[in-house]
Structure 1
Amino acid sequence: MSLKRLILASKSAARREVLANAGVSFDVQVAGVDEDALKVPGVDPRELAIELAKAKALAVSVQHPEAVVLGADQTLAFDGGLISKARDLQQARARLADMRGKPHQLHSGVALAKGGQIIWSGGDTAHMVVRDFSDAFLDAYIAAEGEELLYCVGSYRLEGMGSQLFDKVDGDYFTVLGMPLWLVLEQLRRFEVLPR
């Protein structure tokens, strides 16, 4: 059986690493989607993550109709609203301070497109509880992680020092990293990107 080419429509280093570590062969092309245009008031955060993933997959799929294109995105629901990536480290610090001692939900959406059409989409949610950390820890964390925090929707990287921010994570580790891997691998086998 000849396996189909896979393109990841995401610039996320964490997503690339998750797929590569799972032994998946893929190319990367950033979609360049206007995410803010899809973030309308009142939209369901989980559905938004899936819609963003679909938009990314479609944007790349029309350029490479022969390939299977994987789009992925995340949204963070906190205190009745959506949290976006921080503009700068001061905003990252303020957001983490706001989340201190409180729960939030991290939604990961994924979609596959081929020939300019969505052939599958899905998502998963992780429920996260941030611990009541000290200001000293927060300052040390910001200093250690630096600009990397600006690429993460919650201003944390669970695969790094960000693991120390939490009391509890209820959900799949890969979902937190932005790639609900088990869902994706199942569909990659289904659509002949990976062998059965």
Structure 2
Amino acid sequence: MSLDIDGVTIPDSQLAREITELVRDTESPLLFHHSSRVYYFGALAGRKRGLKFDPELLYCGCMFHDMGLTRAHSSDCCRFEVDGANAARDFLESHGISQRDIDLVWTSIALHTTPGIPEFMDPVIALVTAGVEMDVLGLAYGQYSDAERESIVAAHPRTPRFKEDIIQAFHDGIKHKPHTTFGNVKADVLADKNPSFKPMNFCGVIRASAWAA
């Protein structure tokens, strides 16, 4: 039975069940449980903020948000967020979901590591990022009760070394395409794991451009 926290549950629909099955079969248990917690934290944040959102679309955005870290969906050229967004888009298109809803989910995933923007957008976009920020960064930790946090973690456990494990998972999913971390918080992951990593510099790109001045 799905965890129910003050009425927040995984949507009871065929689409949601297929999302759960696909993500569980594709991602590691670490990422699957992380994504599940992101949904609960995101949905609870929506309740606390009084936002109206489609739980099914939020569930899709949360569950697919790290699919770009998996071998099955990782490209050589795109940010992992875009790879995950594309995977969600393909899944939703195959289920006849409207283009508007597909675009909403796509954007929620593509922007989830771009702080300072999603919070001002549609609730689905804002709440995917809110869920990620809570589970990974602990932002707004005190805004959730002990009972809420403990219930979610009991249903979808954090590994004993989750903080280090998730950093490693990020690294393993993006290390083959370091150029995609330009202007992205994931550059910090590569620098943490590889002291020789030299991130692109915005000012350097400007000065090296073909413009004469």
TM-score (norm. length: structure 2): 0.26
TM-score (norm. length: structure 1): 0.28
Which is richer in strand? 1
Which is richer in helix? 2
